[in-house]
Amino acid sequence: MHDVSDLVARQYEAYAYPAPITDLNAQIGAGYFELGDPKHYAPLIWPEGQPKQRMRILSAGCGTVQAAYLAHAHPEHEVIGVDLSSASLAHQRFLQERHRLDNLRLFQGDLRDVARVGGSFDHIVCSGVLHHLADPDAGLAALADVLAPRGTLLLMVYGATARAGVYMVQDALRRLQVPQTAAGVAFARRLVAQLPAHHYAQWYVGAAAELEHDAAFVDTFLHPQDRAYTVPQLMDFVGRHGLKHQAWVDNAFYYPDAALARFPADILAAVTALSDLQQWAVVEMLTQRIGMHTCVLRRAADAPQVAAHAFGSAAWDLQVPHRAPGLKCVQAAGPQQQARYHRAAEVMELGSTEAALLELCDGRRSLREILAQPLLAALPAADRAIRGEQFFARLWRLGHLLFSRPAPG
């Protein structure tokens, strides 16, 4: 284990992160779910269907909760959790015993040595880990080596633009040699509280409610090893290891439809005319709101069979729409008012016909079946198809819909 890994391990022994959950049933009942959990994001992860009935799932850097959560949510699958911290794994074992998770196995160690666990994995979740390694490439290479054919990797790494101020504060605290002790944390909190209003870290501090917990504060400002990525850097990073981006977990952060909605129409049109990669890069630089990139990766060799979406193809209307986790109607459409939907910080208003189309997105009907509904009977078939494709493609770019589709042949 490298020196930096020892430092990281010691941090998570003293400040277990994330904040431990003591009862999964209670938390899930209150609406908790892990970002990228296949139970909620299956169409995003496997748009052509789950590859196996019984899978092996790896939680690489499982922390205090993730592996136990995945085992609880997926009793039909085998879940393996790997982490450096004995304190984090101790809490995972507490959850394992409390919820009788017979399908969970836990290992202490560096994820770069994950091959020692044995076998390959059909789905890997690696959230908030690689950016803390001295050599993130070595970590991603190790995960790519144990990814099964048709396997998927749910990856989260930090985003560079929103964290620019965080790294300024980290730099100052390192020069001041502030330790990860109670006194050090108190000193660092007082320092952050005195930052001027124009400091780049202020937006991040105001948006991160979890910073009230010492473990999260230490993880943000006093971490011994930390880096972040822009969109192009992330694409280069995954490409070096034979992997390819399949989907963002939330498109709203990357496409101009939501992220640049307040911009003039000519600027929006100019951004939309770019390739997807260039759109994502431009949006990232203009918004500075992406504090973490969460995406689904596949082996590059699998990419021809796994397109991110089918809009623009002849078979676009064979896709089956699924409403994104957390999307809720908070105001029904009426004679004088539009329907209003919320999903996290995203807000969307729709007319009565559009809202009715969205309500038909139940994960069973195809777009072709939805567009054949009587409510659109007054529109000519060609016009219905054009408008329908534009509407559903927009909801996909806004992050409100996920799509699955029939397997080829």
Q: What is the mean pLDDT of residues 299-304?
A: 76
Looking at domain 3-161+228-254+290-305, its CATH class is alpha beta
pLDDT value at position 35? 81
Element (H, E) at 248: strand 243-248
Residue 244: which pLDDT band, with cuts at 50, 70 and 90?
very high
Residues of the chain with CATH 3.40.50.150: 3-161+228-254+290-305
- The secondary structure of residue 334, as a DSSP letter, is B
Q: Is the pLDDT of residue 306 over 50?
A: no
- In the numeric block, the tokens 């996909």 are attached to 396
Q: Which of 124, 122, 120, 125 is nearest to 151 (CA)?
A: 122
Q: What is the mean pLDDT of residues 151-171?
A: 96
How far apart CA 221 and CA 171 sit, in angstroms, is: 9
Query: pTM to 2 decimals?
Result: 0.91
Amino acid at 371: L
Out of 3.90.930.60, 3.30.450.20, 3.90.1150.180, 3.40.50.360, the CATH code matching 316-404 is: 3.90.930.60
Which residue intervals of 133-200 are DSSP H helices? 136-145, 164-175, 182-193
pLDDT value at position 82? 96
% of the chain with per-residue pLDDT over 70:
93
pLDDT tens per residue, range 180-198: 999 999 999 999 999 999 9
CA–CA distances in Å: residue 246 to residues 122, 326, 355? 15, 22, 28
Q: Which of 131, 126, 160 is nearest to 143 (CA)?
A: 126
Q: Annotate 342-400 with DSSP letters as a single string.
A: EETTEEEEE-HHHHHHHHT-BSSS-HHHHHTSGGGTTS-HHHHHHHHHHHHHHHHHTTS
Q: Which residues contact 305 (CB under 8 A, 6 or more apart)?
A: 48, 408
Residues of the chain with CATH 3.90.930.60: 316-404
Q: What is the mean pLDDT of residues 316-326?
A: 93
Report the half-sphere exposure of 21 (CA within 13 A, side-chain side). Answer: 21
Rg (CA), the chain: 22
Q: What is the mean pLDDT of residues 161-169?
A: 96
pLDDT value at position 21? 84
Joined tokens for residue 39: 């139970």
Rounded to the nearest 10°, the torsion over CA 267, 269, 272, 275 is: -90
pLDDT tens per residue, range 45-75: 999 888 888 999 999 999 999 999 999 999 9
Q: What is the mean pLDDT of residues 140-160?
A: 96
Residue 113: which pLDDT band, with cuts at 50, 70 and 90?
very high
- The secondary structure of residue 18, as a DSSP letter, is S
Q: Is the pLDDT of residue 248 over 70?
A: yes
How far apart CA 133 and CA 397 sit, in angstroms, is: 32
How far apart CA 28 and CA 19 sit, in angstroms, is: 15
pLDDT value at position 1? 41
Q: Which residues contact 201 (CB under 8 A, 6 or more apart)?
A: 165, 166, 168, 169, 192, 195
Rounded to the nearest 10°, the torsion over CA 32, 235, 132, 301 is: 80
Residue 331: which pLDDT band, with cuts at 50, 70 and 90?
very high
Burial class of residue 116 (count of CB atoms within 10 Å of its CB; 0-12, 13-18, 19+): exposed
